[in-house]
Structure 1
Amino acid sequence: MTHLGMPAVPAQTRRPVGVEFSAQGHHFHAPDDLDVQAAAEAATAPLSVIVQVTKRCNFDCNMCSETLQMPDPTLQQLDTMRQNLAGTARVFLSGGEPMMRKDFSDIVDMWHQDAILAVPTNATHGMEHAKRIAGKVAYANVGFEGPRAAFQRIRSHDYDLTMTGIRALQEHGIPISMSAVVTRSYLPSMPYVVQIADVLDAGKVKFIMPLRKGNALKLPEHEFISNDEAEQAFSRLVAERTTHRWSPALRLTTWTPENEGHMICVEPNGVARAWPVYEAPDLWLEIGNVLHEPVSDIWKRYPYKRNHLQKYLSRTISSVPQGV
């Protein structure tokens, strides 16, 4: 268990008292009686921020929301972002596919002293970076719609290459979690993903509803299921997990008013955006730029503080803890 006070942060930066990060479960948690609204107003930095170190990707997933390209940030720009994000508890070094950067290990070296690091990845470049990032990354979150046929239909890439990358990460002691986007045609595959995650000793499996953005705009309308349908599928999955004694934690995020704007995503140009904001263009709401100002200033004007804390404390999503 890692208390959020462990990374060195400026004295003026405040995080919610009592909030901790479970390295084993890959999540934040807090006492049940935490006053989330008061905690959000008292904090001066977010719990979690996504930093896109690149927009490039070697996959072409049919539900991907990140299809617009822009130049990669330089190491100097990333270092400025790092300094301006001081006080953020966890940073996702994300993409695109972040490990496509040849200098990805250098980026991890730059950031790992200042925040809990996680890496959303398709794992296909895991062999290139696993050794150097070992011990510096809390976990890698692998986008994974397996079994094989579903994976290759959705991700348009090599299932075996991803599995090879997962094994390389694990061989160097980097914990794994998995995530999958839930469309109607994907529903029958959900139990198989949890079974695969159980075999791989993944800490959790996250299921996320698609958003109408990027490649997902080309999905047929019938592929978008309702929140009720998603919750029913998740309930069936939880029952199967109990029957088969699968161990990964399970999460389901649906797009409700309580989850609006809960993510803070920093694009390669430093622009910080709340996401998803349902009525905003491209679901983005610009809230600042971490190349030019500290995250504490951005947090002051961020309109979704409560939603941010509630989601990352698993209070506005369906959640089942790790264990059999």
Structure 2
Amino acid sequence: MTAELGIPTVPPQRTIDLGNGIAFSKAGHHFTIPEGADLDALAQTLTAPLSVILQVTKRCELDCDFCSETLQKPDASLAQFDTIRRNLDGVGRVFLSGGEPMQRRDLGDIVDLFHRDFIVTVPTNAIRAELHAKNLVGKVASCNVGLEGPRAITSRVRGDYDKIMNGIRHLQDTGIPIDLSCVVYRSTQSAIPYLMQIADMLGAGKVKLIMPLRKGNALNLKEHEFLSNTEARELFDRVGGLRTDMGWTPALRLTAWTDETEGHMIVIEPDGKAQAWPVYDQPDLFLELGNVLTEPVSTIWERYPYKHNHLRKYLGKSIWTAANAGDSTHA
């Protein structure tokens, strides 16, 4: 219609300006800054994190071998989430996480609270996506679905592959973009090329490979299941080479646990406690920072000791990346 009338078509907005030279790419689900910008100087100008993980519940219907969040806490109310929302003023993106966020029947109401003020992403196992997808479409930037590879591998370490894939189809049928995340063991690394092929067929934006951390259920993993950082790098390079050879389109990411990634995420539990994660010398890998039910995130940010690592993570500087042209950072 607009072309016939001679009215120029306005291209959809591909980035969101967050101020301080920081933008968020809607196409790639990642943060960007001007080339050559000084990260330490930028960290001093920020009054809030780029991104936080808000656990809307600790509950989950699965019992993944690698799950770090096994300690339960009561769910917060919508009124408490509204207080948290106000106290997160200045944050760019909020992951509405868990546990499994789709365990909350009122997840759509929680998304409604947050999506007007923040970029919202939902990490999920997708098993309950049929119940929630229609309430998330147009409000969440993406859903990040956990998948370790083909049916036998995913079902062994995470849960029912077919239920997860069915949920992914519901998300896609509703028009919600997806990414995939995968926790890698020594005994599952052979599945990663198959995972990349699955991601390519699904049209996923990226595949995030994550090394397990010694917390929760992962404390029961055999020691040989943990890859060294050198072995993780070798795996990443092999899969990255296959990605090029096979023409797989999803971006590839890998997070290893080094000095550069210590404390780089801020996790907010259902009771409002804000924690730096992972902090290696803490028994549960959480370093308590404050509580966003009682104080603004700007106050918590002031006392947060990992600002440099936080910025490097969300600008894709401390994780290993293999991306398409024009898609240099994904976090």
TM-based fold match above 0.5: yes
Q: Name the TM-score, length of structure 1 as normaliser.
A: 0.95
**Long gaps (5+) in structure 2:** 1-13
**1:245 paired residue number:** 247
- Which of 65, 68, 73 is matched with 1:65 structurally? 68
How far does residue 58 in structure 1 lie from its aligned partner after superposition?
0.6
How far does residue 161 in structure 1 lie from its aligned partner after superposition?
0.9
Aligned partners of 1:186, 1:158: CA distance in 2, in Å?
Answer: 16
- Which of 17, 36, 39 is matched with 1:4 structurally? 17
Counterpart of 1:134 in structure 2: which amino acid? V
**1:91 paired residue number:** 94
Aligned partners of 1:120, 1:153: CA distance in 2, in Å?
Answer: 20
Aligned partners of 2:192, 2:300: CA distance in 1, in Å?
Answer: 37
Aligned partners of 1:206, 1:220: CA distance in 2, in Å?
Answer: 23
Asked if the contact 2:145–2:178 (Cα under 8 Å) also holds between the matched residues in 1, the reply is yes
Structure of higher CA gyration radius: 2
Asked if the contact 2:16–2:26 (Cα under 8 Å) also holds between the matched residues in 1, the reply is no
Aligned partners of 1:207, 1:238: CA distance in 2, in Å?
Answer: 12
- Which of 280, 293, 308 is matched with 1:278 structurally? 280
Q: Deviations over 1:5-24 (max 9, x none)?
A: 3xxxxxxxxx5x22211122
Counterpart of 1:295 in structure 2: which amino acid? V
**Long gaps (5+) in structure 1:** 6-14
Q: Where in structure 1 do 4 or more consecutive aligned residues deviate above 6 Å? A: none
Q: Name the TM-score, length of structure 2 as normaliser.
A: 0.93
- Which of 233, 256, 263 is matched with 1:231 structurally? 233
Aligned partners of 1:183, 1:25: CA distance in 2, in Å?
Answer: 27
Aligned partners of 1:111, 1:117: CA distance in 2, in Å?
Answer: 7
The yes-or-no answer on 1:111 pairing with 2:124 is: no
How does 1:305-320 map onto structure 2 within 5 Å? 305-320=307-322
Asked if the contact 1:104–1:129 (Cα under 8 Å) also holds between the matched residues in 2, the reply is yes
Asked if the contact 1:152–1:159 (Cα under 8 Å) also holds between the matched residues in 2, the reply is yes
- Which of 290, 293, 313 is matched with 2:292 structurally? 290
**2:6 paired residue number:** none
- Which of 34, 42, 61 is matched with 1:39 structurally? 42
- The secondary structure found in structure 2 opposite 1:205 is strand
Aligned partners of 2:181, 2:231: CA distance in 1, in Å?
Answer: 18
**2:103 paired residue number:** 100
Q: Deviations over 1:271-315 (max 9, x none)?
A: 000000000120000001000000000000000001000011010
Aligned partners of 2:160, 2:17: CA distance in 1, in Å?
Answer: 37
- The secondary structure found in structure 2 opposite 1:283 is coil
How far does residue 36 in structure 1 lie from its aligned partner after superposition?
0.3
- The secondary structure found in structure 1 opposite 2:36 is coil
Aligned partners of 1:211, 1:197: CA distance in 2, in Å?
Answer: 24
Q: Quick check: 29-38 or 305-314, which moved more?
A: 29-38
**1:129 paired residue number:** 132
Q: Deviations over 1:59-103 (max 9, x none)?
A: 110001000001000111111101100111000000000011110
**2:188 paired residue number:** 186
Counterpart of 1:2 in structure 2: which amino acid? T
User: How many residue pairs get matched?
Assistant: 313
Counterpart of 2:305 in structure 1: which amino acid? P
Q: Deviations over 1:9-60 (max 9, x none)?
A: xxxxxx5x22211122121122331100010111001000000000000111
- The secondary structure found in structure 2 opposite 1:264 is strand
The yes-or-no answer on 1:25 pairing with 2:28 is: yes
Asked if the contact 1:26–1:204 (Cα under 8 Å) also holds between the matched residues in 2, the reply is no
Asked if the contact 1:140–1:175 (Cα under 8 Å) also holds between the matched residues in 2, the reply is yes
Aligned partners of 2:194, 2:25: CA distance in 1, in Å?
Answer: 26
